[in-house]
Structure 1
Amino acid sequence: MTELTIGAMARATGVTASALRFYDDCGLLPPARVDPVTGYRYYAEEQCERAVSIRRLREIGVPLEGVGRILGGDSAAAAQLLDDHVRDLQQRARAAAVVAAAIKQGLSGVVLSGLALADAVGQVRSAAAVDGEFPVLTGIFIEAESSSLTLTATDRYRLSTRTLVPRQGANTWAAVVAAEELAAVDDWLRQIDEVSLSTEAGFLVLAADGTERRCPLIDEPFPDYRAVLAGLATVRTRVLVQREALIAVTDGTPLVLSIAESGLTVRDSSGTRQLPATISGPPIDIGFAPEVLRPALAGAVGPDVMLDISAADQPVAVRSATDGDLTTLVMPIQLP
């Protein structure tokens, strides 16, 4: 049996390594083997087809539960859902062929959807600093690789990182751009089909349809955010819940999530509500300020979010994945 590392699996299927970890954690795509010493994941070549199917279904907003039913093929309803989505995917494939034919030969920048880039900037920008005490923290760190484009922002108290799958990769590069500079080109990005990103002489160059926008770079090293993520305490409790359902009950204060085997209960000043959720790990009560949790949920991608909880007084990772992934760290509050 041919084995693929998680990086090779990502390149073969167009699903980022972090999204593959997400699908493993929620039980949708476990690796064929996990090294008991290193913890490295290894995938069978036969799993590529399932990974590609998951990516395509998630691109059109199918919830994780629906993806499992479709791929399992256990019911007529799943077959009907698959047929409906196949029609949509055929339309997307035709559009993708037109886009691919239009890409200019020799284009050196990383190419992706203008709308996808604008959305990603909006999703991480709220975590950037605004006071200017440390100029680099007012920026968004952009990392381009052959199979991914990652945007990260942090003000030392919050952290958001978003990974996208580009239409065309590029040589590896990284740069910090002021969040307000990227926000200034939001309207332009949303009006173009695709944009090429590259760096040149102290600027991030965004090119599309014969026009350019140049955003000056911040010439300071960005904090090692990966070390921050790696340094988080071990996840003890994990909650998978529909994003919109959780957003709908985050309007009261204080907000308390009671997580138990029986389900997810949300308590606030207006009462108590029960939400359907998939839960693993020990029960826990954890409090949040709605003005902190709600933006993290609103900016998430896809129909579902995963809450990785280590303790009631430790940062909670709010994770989601569709065409890449988004992770936002949210600090809980002390329970009354």
Structure 2
Amino acid sequence: MRSIGEMARDSGLGVSALRFYDRAGVLVPAWVDPVSGYRWYAPGQLDEARLLARLRRAGMPLADIRLVLAGWSGADTDLVRGLLQAHLGRLEGGLAAARTEFSALRTLLDQRENPMTTAPRTTTARLSVSAPELAAALDAVRYAASSDPGLPMLGGVLLDVEGDTVHLVATDRYRMAVARIGATGHAGPRVQVTVPVPLADAMRALLGGEEPVGLIVDGDRVALEAGDRQAAGQCLAQDFPDYRRLVHLPSGRRALVETAAFREELETGPVRSGVTREQGDASGDVSVLGIADDGTVTVREDGDGSCVAVDRGFLLDAIAAAGRDRLVLEFGAPTAPVAIRRVADETTFTLLMPVRLDD
């Protein structure tokens, strides 16, 4: 007999998925302890679980999976082949439809392009900022920059200069970190440049003093001057997405947490392993967060409709980047991003996309 943990490890299905398939009557454990409720599986059920995992990765509907499992264990191979072929046909049809829609979208994008988007940048700006504030802002957002070569426009830190304010933004789609600092010396139009991660790191290395530093944007180049030292280089050629359309702090439930205690609970508490954020993504560990009426946040093994599931590593990164003894967590709907911010500071925060737990 295999425990549910061993079954999860050997089959590729998470513990939560095995519980779900038990409740759905798809893969019922051979024996359930009447006292503890713990599930145990017979040796022969491992092959069924592996088959189930493959079918789910292929996106087969649960109703068809039931029939495939029933036919697989019997002699009705024609039924199994028919169901597999029917699902493959649906996938191929869906892919063909998706190709058509994406082709139309590319045409629309081509029509929207104009010479301004491809012409060299001619903007020039020079401003002065506090070295400690810029260092803290870079530390607060740098970790969220993307390393996906397929999305080069996200591989840096956006500097959005408008009047006497500089917003620093980084995102990899699943998390977005935003910080704001003050600036002097810029009275021109809004300027936006994306600093590649290596250059952002080089800039951060110069920010050890207390004196103001200079930020210079000259066309496609950006430079940081700290005394007689300088870090300079090319900006990313691709435009950063309009982050302001994506920044919506959740309204509703708010919790104040002690950072050290909350981090320990995340690191030692229950976790769902092997959860995929989206189709094609690598799997990771997910924490299910529940918030009580009194504002207490707990890390739970199973969630209900009010809980939110997030990537545990991303949440730990956000807590570390915030760098405070106490933090505010803000929750909206279970499908809305979770905000992590400093106490009494709504200008520096991280938004984490929730992870959908279908199984």
Per the normalisation by structure 1, the TM-score is: 0.56
1:133 maps onto 2:155 in alignment: no
Structural mapping, 1:1-336, within 5 Å: 109-166=126-183, 168-171=184-187, 172-191=190-209, 193-230=211-248, 235-252=251-268, 253-254=270-271, 255-267=287-299, 284-300=306-322, 302-320=324-342, 325-334=347-356
Partner amino acid for 2:143? S
SS in 1 for 2:146: coil
Same amino acid, percent of matched pairs: 28
Measured in 2, the distance between the counterparts of 1:158 and 1:256 equals 17
Measured in 1, the distance between the counterparts of 2:343 and 2:221 equals 30
SS in 2 for 1:299: helix
Rate the CA distance shift 1:322–1:144 in 2: closer, same or farther, 3 A. farther
Rate the CA distance shift 1:262–1:189 in 2: closer, same or farther, 3 A. closer
Q: In the alignment, which residue of structure 2 is the partner of 1:39?
A: none
Q: Tell whether the 8 Å contact from 1:145 to 1:169 is kept in structure 2 after alignment.
A: no
Rate the CA distance shift 1:308–1:114 in 2: closer, same or farther, 3 A. same
Measured in 2, the distance between the counterparts of 1:299 and 1:195 equals 22
Q: Tell whether the 8 Å contact from 2:203 to 2:224 is kept in structure 1 after alignment.
A: no
Measured in 1, the distance between the counterparts of 2:288 and 2:345 equals 31
Q: Tell whether the 8 Å contact from 1:123 to 1:299 is kept in structure 2 after alignment.
A: yes
Deviations 1:180-211 (A, max 9, x none): 21112322222463211120142112112133
Structure 1: where are the runs of 5+ without partners? 1-107, 270-282
Q: Tell whether the 8 Å contact from 1:142 to 1:149 is kept in structure 2 after alignment.
A: yes
Q: Tell whether the 8 Å contact from 1:257 to 1:265 is kept in structure 2 after alignment.
A: yes
Q: Tell whether the 8 Å contact from 2:130 to 2:212 is kept in structure 1 after alignment.
A: yes
| Deviation, structure 1 residue 321 | 5.7
| Deviation, structure 1 residue 319 | 2.4
Measured in 2, the distance between the counterparts of 1:213 and 1:145 equals 22
Higher deviation after alignment, 143-152 or 320-329: 320-329
Rate the CA distance shift 1:212–1:219 in 2: closer, same or farther, 3 A. same
Alignment RMSD: 2.7
Q: Tell whether the 8 Å contact from 1:137 to 1:222 is kept in structure 2 after alignment.
A: yes
Deviations 1:109-161 (A, max 9, x none): 32223233223222212221112212211021101233321100112222111
**Relative contact order, higher structure (CA 8 A, sep 6+):** 1
Structure possessing the higher radius of gyration over alpha carbons:
2
Q: Tell whether the 8 Å contact from 1:257 to 1:285 is kept in structure 2 after alignment.
A: yes
Size of the aligned set, in residue pairs, is: 213
Partner amino acid for 2:289? L
Structure 2: where are the runs of 5+ without partners? 1-124, 272-286
Per the normalisation by structure 2, the TM-score is: 0.53
